[in-house]
A and B are shown apart, each in its own frame.
Chain A
Amino acid sequence: MEDLFSFFFKYRPFFFREGECAFQWPLAGWQIAVAAVAIVFALIFLYRGKWLAVDRRARTALLAVRTLLLLLLLSLLMRPTLVLSSMVPKENLFAVVVDNSRSVAIPGPDREEVSRIHQLVDPSSSFSHALEEKFYVRRFKFDSSPQRLENPTELTWEGEQTNIAAALKAVLAETKNLPLGGIVLVTDGSDNGYQDFRPVLTELKTRKVPVHTVGIGPQALEKDVELVQVSAPRLLLPESVAVARVTLRHHGFGGSRGRLEVRDGSTLVQTREIHFPRDAEITSAEVKLLPKQEGTRTYHFSVKPLQGEKIAENNTRSMILEVKNLQRRVLYVEGHPRWDYKFIRQSLAEDKNIRLETLLRTAMNKFYRQGIEDENALAAGFPAKAEELFQYHGIILGNVESSFFTFQQMEMIRDFVGKRGGGFLMLGGSSSFSSGKYENTPIEEILPVWLQQSGAAARVTEPYAEGEASVKISEYGLHHPALQLSLEEKENQRIWASLPELKDWNIVQSAKSGAVILAHGTGAENKDVPLLAYQRYGRGHTLAFLTGSSWRWQMLQDHKDQSHETFWRQMLRWMVSTAKDPVTVETERETYAKNEAVQIRAEINDRLFTRVNDALVEASVVAPSGQEDKIVLSWNPGEDGIFKSQWVPAEDGLHQIRVSARGDAADEVYGTAEVYFLVSSKTREYFDAVQKKDFLEKLAQDTGGRYYTLANVDDLPEEAAYNTTRASVIEVFDLWDMPINLIVLLGLLLTEWTLRKKYGVI
């Protein structure tokens, strides 16, 4: 098609796309217009003469053809041209950068493709000759970083990372003071360097360096299953349920079934059948993990390769789960001795991860404290100072009315959730929620439900009811980590449906718009009322459990049944999950490749959880070999309390980062924290190993370059030369002698001759 175009128009479409049209006739525009108008009027005048003995219709047709003919001749006489800016030969540098990562070889370029790629970097190829006629060429190969390429055989496609940004950045740095006419980037575009492209793009645009991209490899795999992502919490208390969401992508296996296996280290802990939908490439599955022992555990998720699958390496992903006894402290305030108090305490009695410290009002101004370690703890009742309260990670308010607290204490509870990030739970009872007159208090502000207003007239119904209500768990609740009474979904559903009925419940106005209802209670009138709801509030989250009779799940079921204990342990573990320590550290991701910068981010708070910007934050990174590097994290302006740094791993395996933060004064210690990350380079290139055409087109377009394929890359040397740089000249291409002009002229003459013959004026 392009050849046909070139035949008629003398030049390839590229010239018309890139060049500007101009007439080389030395007349001004208005002079040309006057000439054209004069020709038109002269012809009209001439053709109105009686010498032309034809009817009006024929006269008009003849006039039109002659006018077009003369105007075309006039335009050709004015010497139409295309003007392009062309680089001066051998005045500019040109970089050919070829992807040497493993993904290029997946599923494996055929011989022809390999040969074509080699030609792009082979100095003796016609492509190179064409390029070298116009440029000084430097050749590079890259994976995680670029290297100069001397010989095409150096392309092995065994690199363990594709870092395009790093490659472009290095090429720009190497040619910093040289006229760089362009970059040819030969790649599949499957970047896994996770580096910010913006600085590189800015420099390319500033220096006006076009990146011409050459896309290699298929844009989709015919038969493949890929485990795209596994998302799960990174830190967990022992014996807590972690819900891991596994995302899978498939090509060509719609309607098939696969088998997902989960291994804790090398021990198979779970298997699950996966159904690949016909109408979607992406599907997901939830896997519930229940690690019982402390330690840093590596879970491997893998889908057994399906018949005909081309890449098996992208069927496996790993994640790290740090299982740690964090000794979370929960303060439970109860206004009346009651059975729920006893059985909640009992269910948590042997939980080493949650220390339930209870303050029970046994009589007016008389308290019974349980679970405390320090003799003086809670001796004066509910904490009056934030410093004392913020030492806890969760608060439970039982059957206790709002007047038990001062307004300041309620504000403190609100800050405990919003600022400190603690968990909060209110239990049902005849003195809680609306019955405890919490409406219009800071506690109502944090609750996930709207309370009924005071006064019988304002209330829709009684705020507290007794009777029999069964528990109906919501779809969301079925998958919530706090409500997993069994790791098997159907069994979990069955257990919830078989729990003994509750005997009381609080009735609220409604759940708040940002709240999630995990369970409903269904009474005799078959009317659903919210039973368990939660919402985020500030940095923490709050829960409302609108009954005080969950103890029946213990007393009315066989003593071997663990539903009640499991529910409360999981509930409290999840409740405190947002409560962080004053010092925390995290990495941007949990898996990195060798030589890839690991972004380290620490958050530093004081005891009142006010973010600190002037701390001295030091980190030590311990590699699997035991090698320990010490680094200093610096405050990130604009983000209070956030300190950042980066570190580049040199070996595969599990790494540990330990951070300590202190103030100027020697005794001002904010705390320590640690986090783990995995360096795994072997299989990374197998993921998403297809050509990213959209990305390559966008990169070329943003920098003024073009996207090519191996089929049309031979046009590149010629086209790449037409670009404005410090060393370019203007080139003019005549258009008057295009074959199409002659064809149109002859066509018009033939038309006129035919018309004249038809009308008898020859």
Chain B
Amino acid sequence: MKYGVKVIVAVFLLLLSVIPARSDERKSNPNSLNYFQFVRIRYNGFMNDFAAGRWVPPWMHDYPRAERNFLKILSEITSVKTTPESYLILDLHDPEIMNYPLLYVSEPGYWNITDEEAANLREYLKRGGFVIFDDFRGPAEWNNLTSSMKKVLPDRSFQELKLDHPVFHCFYDIETLDMIPPYEVFGKPTFYGLFDEKNRLQVVANFNNDIGDYWEWSDESLTPVKLSNEAYKFGINYVIYGLTH
């Protein structure tokens, strides 16, 4: 065989090897509905990111490392079908959120809720959706979340979740709610929940806490492994609870 032909054959074979089969491509689509999708909500609101020295949208804090790391752990530990790439961002007013019955909202302390967002979220929750609020602290941010949620569900109020609630035992048996936050906050981390008229938990809020931050930095040595581990436990329990209740 001539050298030129050999090169052509070699290049052809090389190309074949890198073109994935069609079915494999479909199967590996991380945004397939067959996989659990981690949906981060994009909402109306800004804050100053002092560390970066610029204005950044608060909803994207810890994105995307938090979800990538969390989904990796979720797929490894549990039998939830997902991949580390199965995450996406949706606007809160987008009807598309109905396709994803679990939402993650970061920094709700800066959420400047619109009527459209309130209406969409209200309908979402009434249909059976589940929402996690994370990464907020202090009375001002708490007041912002509670007043925002009053626009969504006027007749509902946050209640503190106790350790005996099933959300803390549906996968891991979490032993204590005395969690150490990843950085200094203005109070004790507390877990709150919003319940519907049938006393079903629809919303969890990690007040004075930032478990997303633990997830984000869990592959670095910024926080102790044990604490990151606890943050994963909460996250996994939230997802399992959302998928089962």
Does B28 count as interface, using CB distance less than 8 angstroms?
no
Q: Would B123 and A558 count as touching, CB distance under 8 A? A: yes
Q: Are A342 and B123 in contact (CB under 8 A)?
A: no
> Count the A residues whose beta carbon is within 8 Å of the partner chain — how many?
35
**Cross-chain contact A337 with B80 (CB below 8 angstroms):** yes
**For residues 95 through 119 of chain B, which have their beta carbon under 8 Å from a beta carbon of chain A?**
98-99, 101
Q: How far is the CA of A363 from the CA of B245 in the complex (A)?
A: 17
B101:A338 contact, CB within 8 angstroms: no
Interface centre among B81, B129, B242 (most CB of A within 10 A): B81
Q: Are B79 and A363 in contact (CB under 8 A)?
A: yes
A341 CB to closest chain B CB, in angstroms?
A: 7
Flag whether A345 is at the interface (Cβ < 8 A).
Answer: yes
Q: Tell whether, in the assembled complex, residue B78 and residue A363 are in contact, meaning their CB atoms are under 8 Å apart.
A: yes
CA A193 – CA B127 in complex, angstroms?
57
Contact status of A559 and B127, CB under 8 A, knowing A364-B79, A466-B33: yes
Q: In the bound complex, how far is the Cα of B240 from the Cα of A370, in angstroms?
A: 13
B29: nearest residue on chain A (CB-CB)? A466
> What is the total of A-B residue contacts with beta carbons within 8 Å?
81
Q: Is B180 an interface residue (CB 8 A)?
A: no
B129 cross-chain contacts in A, Cβ below 8 A? 555
Chain A 22-43 per-residue mask, 1 if CB under 8 angstroms from chain B, else 0: 0000000000000000000000
State how many angstroms separate the Cβ of B156 from the closest Cβ of chain A.
Answer: 15
B77 within 8 A of A: yes
Chain B neighbourhood of A462, CB < 8 A: 23
Asked whether any CB of chain A lies closer than 8 Å to the CB of B192, the reply is no
The answer to the question of B17 belonging to the interface, with a C-beta cut-off of 8 Å to chain A, is no
A555 and B98 in contact (CB under 8 A), knowing A361-B79, A504-B33? yes
Interface residues of A in 470-505 (CB under 8 A from B): 503-504
Q: Mark B194-215, 1 if CB is under 8 A from A, else 0.
A: 0000100000000000000000
B244 and A345 within 8 A (CB): yes
Q: Is A537 an interface residue (CB 8 A)?
A: no
Chain A positions 521-567 with a Cβ under 8 Å from a chain B Cβ: 548-549, 551-552, 554-559
Q: Identify which of B34, B99, B128, B244 contacts A337 (C-beta below 8 A).
A: B244
Does the CB pair B99–A430 fall under 8 Å? no
Q: Is B159 part of the binding interface, using a Cβ–Cβ cutoff of 8 Å?
A: no
Binding site of A, secondary structure by majority: helix, strand, loop or mixed?
A: mixed
Is B79 in contact with A503, judged by CB distance below 8 angstroms? no
Known: A462-B23, A552-B99. A342 touches B245 (CB 8 A): yes
B81 lies within 8 A of A430 (CB) = yes
* CB of A336 within 8 Å of the partner chain: yes
Which of chain A's residues have a CB closer than 8 A to the CB of B126? 559
**Pairwise interchain contact A554-B26, C-beta atoms closer than 8 A:** no
Residue of A whose beta carbon sits closest to that of B102: A339
Within 8 Å by CB of A362, from B81, B98, B240, lies: B240
The answer to the question of B32 belonging to the interface, with a C-beta cut-off of 8 Å to chain A, is: yes
A-B contact pairs, 9 of them (CB 8 A): A350-B198, A360-B244, A362-B170, A364-B79, A504-B33, A549-B33, A555-B101, A556-B98, A559-B123
Interface of A with B (CB < 8 Å)?
335-339, 341-343, 345-346, 349-350, 360-364, 366, 368, 370, 430, 462, 466, 503-504, 548-549, 551-552, 554-559
9 more A-B contacts (CB under 8 A) besides A370-B244, A466-B26?
Answer: A337-B78, A337-B243, A338-B80, A338-B243, A342-B245, A363-B79, A368-B170, A466-B34, A556-B99
